Each structure stands twice: as structure tokens, then as C-alpha cells.
Structure 1
Amino acid sequence: MEIVVISNSFTSCNTTAKKSIVLSSETRKELAKQAKVTKEERRAQIDERHKYLISKLSDGIDLSEQQVEEAIISDDKFQLIEQFFAPNGLKKLLFFYQDVLQQTSNASLRSDGSTNSFLQKKLFLTMGSTENFTGICAFFLRMSDKVITTSNVCQEVNFGIFDCSNGNILQGLELFLSQIMIPALKSQQHWGAVKEGLKNSQIQDFLYSVDRFVDTLSSSRQNLEDRIQLAEVDIDTYVSNLQNPSDYITAGSNTEITEKLEEVLMIWIKQIRQVLVESEQMRREADDIGPSAELEHWKSRMSLFNSLLDDIKSSRVKKTLSILQAARSKTLKQWKELVITMF
């Protein structure tokens, strides 16, 4: 099995609104006719190279070969396939399979200017830089600059799947490396000029580094999932219109507002105390474990407290504290002591 490397070419971009145009039935029929002609021309171009791609996509994405073929010949970026096959052509060919906003075939403008639309899974070609990546990426990578022919496509083109259908790219990368790449590397028999193969110390160091990277990836993903945020409490009524110091003084002199915000602050204090207790409990349970677990504990604790610190610096918390400071609230003493304990 050849080793493939994925470059991080997936970037997000803001979608831009497009003006809806109402087409006459004659125009729609003409466009449909042209599209049908284009599809049939492309269908006639399909050879064993295309069938190889179609077969791999069908197996990897769980679509029939007919569905994959229809998606490919209907794609506006169909020419990318020919550019991929050409000598010194594209190094990669990417397909996304994910939910895409579709308009109904007889879409017409509503009174508010919008059209009837719905989400539907779609397989489409992409350069990887103009669409948000939210589903499955199927990729083909070239092994050389040779022209891709019907006789060498199986040897010169590698295929892989990168699944982020749950919306978690870190988890998708972790699974790809741990379940596909690392087992493939560890079963690799030939390492080029390195005759000793897996017995070579440099190869062993490399595999160890990859294992550690996956462990770090898993830890980072877990820390993000365990991110702590202060409870969302509806305080917009009290803090949204504050503009200058006099507004805070006025709010602080209002007993109803200060009592409500003191209740909110106590909720946050109890939440942070609970986090500290749980963190310390985990620390005690890990006392008899080695230095790796100790390091992991402190990394997790740092990530946890950093997420709390981000929330503490948020506008809603700062405004709450400023009003209570103007009111000379006694609950601020508990808050300050707690924050000192944390950091």
C-alpha cells in the first residue's frame, strides 16, 4: 500500500447571497436541453480511468456507480478530471459529499425575495478552497507527473476518504490516522533505501512520533469537547444598553437589577467551584499514575481554565461585574477570591 499525505487545503469562506432570478418556462426548458446535451457528451468521454474513479467513490461513499457517474457528468468542474489525468496535471482531485442547499426545480420568488430551498446530500468536485467542509472528502492523489492512462491508473492514483460528517474535523483526522494510516505504515514491508525496514531505529522513531501526534490530536479534541462555559443566563435586559460610566452607576443603584445580577454571579461562582472540585478529584485519582498521565492532567486543566478565562473576559461578564462594582456588592469578594484560586 502506498503512503499518501493530505495537505490541509480545506478552508472556510463566507457564503455570498445571490440574487434570485425568475426564469420563464421556455428559458428553463432550453437550459435543461443544453444541460442534457452536455451530460451526454461527457458520458461519451468516460473510459476506464473515469470508471476507476467512479468505482472507488461508490465503494467509499456508499453510492451506486450510476449515482456517482450522474453526479460527475453533471458537475460544473468536470474539466478538473481531465486536468488531473494530464501529464504534469493536478496533484489531487477532491470530492465533497455533504449537505448542500438546493432550490426546488420550479423555484419562484416569495414576497420577501427568498425562494423555496432545502438541504440535500450532494457529491461534487471541488478545489477545496471555496466551500465549507462539513461532510466527507474523497480524494485521489497522483504518484508521479506521468499522464494517467487506462493502463496505469490503478498504479499511479491513490484513493482515500476523510470523514468529518459529524462536523468534527479533528476527530475525522484522528480516525483517518489511527485507523488507516498508522496500520498501513506499521504493515509496510518496503521502506525504499532503508533495508532494515521496521527494525531501523529511524523508522521506529518516526512511527513513535506519529503515534504521539495522534495521542496529542485526541487529547486536543477531548479538551475542546470538555470546554467549560459559564451558564447562559438571560441578562440582556440589564446590560445591553450600557454605554458610558453613568449608565453603570444608574444600573448599580437599581435594587432589582443588582439582586438579579448577584443571583447570576452566584450561579457562575457555584459552577466554577464545581469545576475546581472535579478537577482536584481527578488529580487525586491520578496520583498513582506515571508522568505521562500527570502531564496529560495539567494540559487538560490548563485547557479547561483557559476556556473559563475566555468566558470571564467576555462582555456579558465584564458588564455584570462593573454594575455590581458600582453597587458595591458583597458577592464580588467571593468572585475575586475564586478567580485568585483558579489562576
Structure 2
Amino acid sequence: MDISTPPTRTEMEDSLVTDMKNIMTRQEQLKKKMAKIKAARSARTARLKPIYRTVMEMVAFYFDQPYSFVEEGILDTDQHVDLLESFFSVGGCKAIVFNETKNIPPEFPRICSSRMIVTDCKEETISGVSVLVYRPSENINATEEICYSMIIVDEETKTAVGGLHLLLSLVSQPHISQTSVWGDLNKTIAGQQHKKEFLDELAGQLNFLKSTKIALDGTVSFESNPEMLDKLTTQDFLEHSTSKTTLNNVERTVRTWMKQIIRVLKHSENLRSEKPDTPPEAELDHWRKLLVQFTSIVEHNRTKECTTFISFLLQGHSKLFKKWQALDNWVTCCTYESQDNVKYLYALQKYWLPLYKMEPLDMANYLPSLMYAIRMVYATSRFLNTTEKITTLLVKVTNQMLNSCLVYLTDNNSKTIWVQKKSDAIKKMNVCLNLYNNYRQVYQDTKDKIVDAEDEA
């Protein structure tokens, strides 16, 4: 139809009739679809046995939701009812998880609402509050032998270490720190010292769990291509190696991996932005985090998928193969450095721990052994034997002594020196100055010994 010519009455009527027919057709299709969904939902409802409903009622109680909310979500798909049937079948699954998540109801595909799902967690990833339902025995008809447990999965608890740290830091440590019931420990000086050592150990364990959680959160996750892997693991490997399409698809996946690896490598070489009072424990945490990242990369590079893809690049004479080799060698070197540094810093840890636990008056006794240990690291380590690396470590050791002196001068940050007795403040300052003089003397003696020993210079 020419747009310059206005439509005739007949053409307008024909167009209107066509539109009405299309609308009616869509409505009929929608009615049939809704009827089909309703029939499927009714069929699933008929499959719900009384024992299933008992479990769903308990789940509704745990979620503080009406029973209808749980049932509506379970009836959304056949897989949900299949799992319930498997749970109550001999030889079926022994544990299922109910999770409230954002999902699309079959009746309203354009609306995303909160729905209840049930899963065995083999494919689905759950988050937030969930209810674990499990049966420790094979008695499938006894509801009293079914156990329920509420679990929370979020960024803080997505690993076992994160969950343990959250539990200890929010529940155990506050109650232990605030309790006044220590029995005979409060009656003697030795007992009070044991109590202090215990609290210090607990705080140290919490810090360790926290740093471990942070390190594990940095694990590198790589994109997977199972369809391509299945294609390459067939007997037609050599035939696929001549296919440009297959080679391009493999190269695309490998390039994605390389970008992730390069990002980690570049980040590890960047200058760190640290606070001026950063202690030596932060140096250990830094290298532990890098070790976890590089180890996850090495483990990925050894997987069947990765080795198959790289072998395919070699077979297909891809230019990307040499770049991958260079990158793999770079990762290997960084992994060795991280392993070596973590090993030596762990060896040093027991020598710098007194700087965290002792008062400045007692620290001087531990300085000679600490400096000797640092000297041995400087002499034997493959990567911490540079002036830059050892200076960074010494600065952080000094920072911890300053932090401890500040806590000592201010009575654990509870009062400034201006509100203390003049004599007490001066006495504490002299203790800190004596620590400084001892530290400087031990440091100078260690430098002289390094100069005198030609094999350590």
C-alpha cells in the first residue's frame, strides 16, 4: 500500500478484522496454555501425599510463611515433586533443601516473585535462608525420624571457614570476653596470666580464620565449556583440529582464561596501598592470599578441560599456544615465590608473636631471636633476600612495636597520657624509649654480622 495514498474504508475494515483475528488467536492460545498449566498443576497436587504435606508444613513453620506459599512453589515444576517422591523412596535421596528465591511463576511468565523451591543442590546454587530436610535412617514412612536444620548461605558464610568465623566472632568471643566467671584463674597472678593467654589465643585464631576466609574468597573461578570438551574428547580429535570453527571456539575460551590470569598477575605486581601502621602479620596474609589465587590457577591448568583445550591448540598450530605457555611459566614462577614466602613468613611468625602479646617492658628479651630469624631468612630465602623485601618486613615489625607501645601508653586505648599521673606516664615513656634503644642496638649488631659474614653479604 502506497503511504502517500490514504487507505480506503474497505482496507481499514480488512486490517481491523485481521487484528481482531490475531488478538482472538492469541487469547485462544493463552487459554489453552493456562488450561495446560492448570491441568499439570492439578496433576502435581494429586501426587502430594499426606507425608509430603507434613514436611511442607514444617518448612512453612521454619520460614514463618503460610503453608500455601510453600505448596504454590513446590507445584511450579515436576522436578520439585519428583524430589519429594525420591526423598520418600527406598534408595532415594536422603537430603533435600527448601530455599526461598526470586523465581518466575509458570502462570505469570512476566512477573518475577518470591517462590519456594526444593533442590538436592546438585545443579542449583542456593543463597540466603534455607531449610535442610534429611533422614538419617532408611525408614521412609516415619515422619518423626525426619530432621530439619536451618542454614544461611551468604557472602560471609559461603565457605566452611567463613561460617566458623562468623559463629565464633558473633557468638563465642563476645560471651567469653564479657564473662566474669573464671573460677580460680582470677585468684592468682598466674591464673590471670593464663586467662590473658587464652583470650589472646582466641583472638589470634579469629584473625587467622578471617584472613583465611579472605584468601579463599579470592579463589579464581574459570568459565567452563563442557559442550566443547565433549566434542574434543571423542575419537574425532584430529578431525576437529582442522576445523577453523572449532579452533576459533576453543581459542575464545582460552583467551577468556588468559585475561583472568593476567588480571591476577598484574594485580600481584601492583604497589600495595597499606596503612602506615601495618604489622608483619599483614605481610603473611598478603602472600597467603596470592598463594591461594595462584594455586587455584595451577589446579585449573591441570584439569582435563584445560589440558584438552591446550593440546588442541598445539594440534591445530594455533598462535595462542606459545602465549599460553609463556603465561603458564609466569604463573609457575609466581606460585613458587608465594609458596616460598609463605613458608619463611610462617617460620618467622612465632618470633614476632611476642610483639603482639607482650608489653614493651618484656619485648626486649625477644628481639635478638627475632632479628636472628630475619637474618637467616635474608640469607637463605630465594625471594625475600633483597633489600627491598627485607626492609618492608622490618618496617612492619617496627610498626607492631609502635602499636604495642601506643596501647601500653594509653592503657589499651582507654585514656590519654594527659589524664594519667605524670610519674606513671613518664615511667611508661622510659620503658618505650628503652625498647627503642634495644631494638636499634640489636638491629645494628645484626647488620654488622651480615657485613662480617661474606657468604651472607
What TM-score, normalized to structure 1?
A: 0.52
Mapped contact 1:134–1:165 kept (Cα < 8 A)? no
The alignment status of 1:295 with 2:287, answered yes or no, reads: no
Q: Which residue does 2:208 correspond to in 1? A: 216
Mapped contact 1:251–1:257 kept (Cα < 8 A)? yes
1:241 equivalent among 207, 226, 231:
231
1:276: how far off? 0.8
Q: Which residue does 1:201 correspond to in 2? A: 193
Q: Secondary structure at the match of 2:232?
A: coil
The alignment status of 1:312 with 2:301, answered yes or no, reads: yes
**Structure number with higher helix proportion:** 2
Q: Secondary structure at the match of 2:183?
A: coil
d(CA) in 2 for partners of 1:253, 1:217: 50
Mapped contact 2:298–2:331 kept (Cα < 8 A)? no
1:248: how far off? 2.3
Q: Secondary structure at the match of 2:116?
A: strand
d(CA) in 2 for partners of 1:335, 1:274: 14
Mapped contact 2:168–2:206 kept (Cα < 8 A)? yes
1:311: how far off? 2.2
Q: CA RMSD in A?
A: 4.8
2:249 equivalent among 260, 269, 276:
260
The alignment status of 1:179 with 2:170, answered yes or no, reads: yes
Distance 1:340 1:181, change over 3 A: same
d(CA) in 2 for partners of 1:165, 1:279: 23
Structure 2 matches for 1:1-343, cutoff 5 A? 97=62, 104=71, 114=81, 119=116, 135=151, 168=158, 170-194=161-185, 195-196=187-188, 200-232=192-224, 235-243=225-233, 247-281=236-270, 284-286=272-274, 289-343=278-332
User: Please, which runs of 5 or more residues in structure 1 have no aligned partner?
Assistant: 1-19, 36-70, 76-95, 137-162
d(CA) in 2 for partners of 1:331, 1:239: 18
Which residue identity lines up with residue 256 of structure 1 in the other structure?
Answer: T
Which residue identity lines up with residue 184 of structure 2 in the other structure?
Answer: A
d(CA) in 1 for partners of 2:256, 2:63: 40
Q: Which residue does 1:66 correspond to in 2? A: none
Mapped contact 1:97–1:124 kept (Cα < 8 A)? no
Distance 1:113 1:164, change over 3 A: closer
Mapped contact 1:190–1:197 kept (Cα < 8 A)? no
d(CA) in 1 for partners of 2:162, 2:194: 28
Which residue identity lines up with residue 206 of structure 1 in the other structure?
Answer: F
d(CA) in 2 for partners of 1:315, 1:193: 60
1:301: how far off? 0.5
Which residue identity lines up with residue 135 of structure 1 in the other structure?
Answer: I
Which residue identity lines up with residue 178 of structure 1 in the other structure?
Answer: S
Instruction: Give aligned pairs, total.
Output: 230
d(CA) in 2 for partners of 1:255, 1:333: 18
Mapped contact 2:132–2:149 kept (Cα < 8 A)? no
Distance 1:269 1:104, change over 3 A: closer
d(CA) in 2 for partners of 1:113, 1:190: 51
Alpha-carbon deviations, 1:45-73, whole Å to 9, x = none? xxxxxxxxxxxxxxxxxxxxxxxxxx9xx
Distance 1:189 1:291, change over 3 A: same
Q: Which residue does 2:120 correspond to in 1? A: none
Q: Secondary structure at the match of 1:190?
A: coil
Structure whose alpha-carbon radius of gyration is higher: 2
User: Please, which runs of 5 or more residues in structure 2 have no aligned partner?
Assistant: 1-43, 85-97, 99-114, 118-128, 138-145, 333-457
Mapped contact 2:162–2:210 kept (Cα < 8 A)? yes
Distance 1:128 1:220, change over 3 A: farther
Which residue identity lines up with residue 116 of structure 2 in the other structure?
Answer: L
